Each structure stands twice: as structure tokens, then as C-alpha cells.
Amino acid sequence: MTSEPLLPLLDTFGRQHTNLRISVTDRCNIRCFYCMPAENVPFMERKELLTYEEIERFVRIMIPLGVEKIRLTGGEPLVRRDLDRLVARIVALPGIRDVGLTTNGLLLGEQAEGLYRAGLRRLNVSLDALDPIKFREVTRRDGYEQVLAGLKAAERAGFREIKINAVSIRGMTEDEIVPFGHFARRTGHEVRFIEYMPLDAESAWEREKVLFASEIVERLSRELMPLVPLRGADPHAPATEYVFEDGVGRIGFIPSVSQPFCGSCNRFRITADGKVRNCLFSLEETDIRGLLRGTAADAEIVEAVRGSIARKWAGHHINAADFIQPKRPMYSIGG
């Protein structure tokens, strides 16, 4: 396929899709209740997963369509062997200007250096609580100290862009808000509070448990220091970013429930088993693995992706009466 630019990936609402999220596995070494069952998780067989070669080919095909930003996710991506090899291959592709990774941090201590050497520069580490007891309540596993050690290892390896993803749940993590504010000021890591979304495996989500971004802004401003919005933020970024008024400590919010940002969405996803999803909450998927493993030319794969993007909704329906939770839970979709 020619590397010449093609028509961009536009949906019917004029949104251009330049940001691709790639899940490399559905396996995970913790069991967060808002994502996975506690036990007996039905994981994909290895043969179902896209190989690194297939992932690289897919990314190459997407670059002429305008894709320039990649995020690797899971499950927990660091449980996939030799992930640094995939990072190096994607970073080296002409046209890719940004590669990030979302991880729970448990294996970061042993892999941070290799990932940095491979060319990775941006990390998002999921950490919902700074209290070890609360951490175990959310994750249903031990590992709090490993995550902190992983963050230190990432700093030593050279990572400077580290963001902390904290899911906010009413009745569970309110007491973590102010400690996370201090953490952001002390470490220099941006803390991003993510509103609790209906993507759990056990369909136990309740709107009443969503701790809204506006409440967190108010509490941090009242108990710590006023937050002021950051200027010049990426209009396509899912997070609304703030800084404490003295300039020390950045806080982000992903208010998917209370303030949906669908109108500026530029993201689409491919699952670990090779299904393209045009929205996190999509109820349909487009099979790409079959095309990659068959005799399909690159142009056929392009048209399949274009078709998926063309069918993208104006926005998710979380706040509507007709909302239907996707059959795939978060760990199987990719964060």
C-alpha cells in the first residue's frame, strides 16, 4: 500500500480519528471490581490474540489515514511477553508521533527501563487509592507497594510524563481525593480522576455511585487550594486539566458521565482479538483479525475501518433511558 496520505478517517459528524488504542491482551494480574469478575475470568486463548506483526501491519495501514497517536492497553499490557519489542516497532514507524501505555504498574518495576529504551515516553498508571487497605478493596488483590516501586523505577528509567488514573467511586474513594491532591503536588505526576463508568463484568454499575468531577474540584479547592483550568489544552483530549493556583500540582478529570466529551472524540480501538470498536460503549464490532490473517489487501482493511468509523454514534447513551451496557467488559475492550 502506498504511504501517500489518503482521505482521513471521518465519521458522519465530521470528527477525524487520529488516535488509536490497541489492546494487546485481556489478561490482568489484579481484579478491580469495576472492570473484572473476582475469580474464574474467561480469558482469550493465545491464538485469538493479534500477533505483534499483525498489530504492526494494522498500524502501518492506518498511518496514511491520519493516525498518529497510539496507546497500548489491556487487560494489563505488561503481562504480554516482550512488550518492549512491540513498542520499539511502533515508535519506529514514520508518521507516529506519540506512543503511550496504560498499566496498573505491578510489573513496571522490572520493565520500565526496557520500555524506555524501546522509545516509550508516556505512561498512565492506574492507581485508585493511596491507602493500601482501600487499594485491596478496589483491586481485590495485593500489590500496592509494587505499584509505588514501579513508579519509582519509571522515574529512574527517565520517564517524565507519568499520569495517575484514579477511578472515582462514591461511597468508596472520597477519602482519597485530598491525599491524591497532595500526591500530585509532591511527585509532579498529574492525577486524573475518572468518573466510574458502566463497563464492569458483573453489571453492578449504579449511577448513584458516580463521584462527579465537579464535586472533586470543589473539595480539592476547598480543602487544599483553589484549582484553576489549564490553558491551551488539547481540544481532543478526554481530560479536563487544572493546576493548583500556586502552579504546583496538576489534576485532570475524565467526566465521561457528567460531562461527556463525545463531540470532540478522535479515538477508536482495536481489541486484543482484532475487533475494531468505534466507541468505548459501542454495541457492534468490525472483525479485522480475519482480514489480517486471510488474503485481504490493505485497501480492504482500510474500507472495513472506514465503515466502522462511519457508523459511529454522535455520543454514548449513558445518560439516556435507552442505554445498553456493552457485552464486553472493560478488560476485554481495552482501557
Q: How far is CA 11 from CA 66, 102, 182, 314, in A?
A: 13, 26, 41, 9
Candidate from 43-52, 109-118, 315-324 with smallest mean pLDDT? 315-324
Enter the pTM of the model. Answer: 0.94
Domains of the chain: 19-333 (3.20.20.70)
Q: pLDDT tens digits for 293-308?
A: 999 999 999 999 999 9
Q: How many residues does the chain have?
A: 335
Q: How far is CA 164 from CA 38, 120, 184, 287, 313, in A?
A: 23, 17, 9, 32, 29
CA–centroid distance for 234 within its chain = 16
Q: pLDDT tens digits for 8-47?
A: 999 999 999 999 999 999 999 999 999 999 898 989 999 9
Handedness of CA 20, 26, 27, 30 (dihedral sign): positive
Look at residue 238 and tell me whether its pLDDT is greater than 80.
no
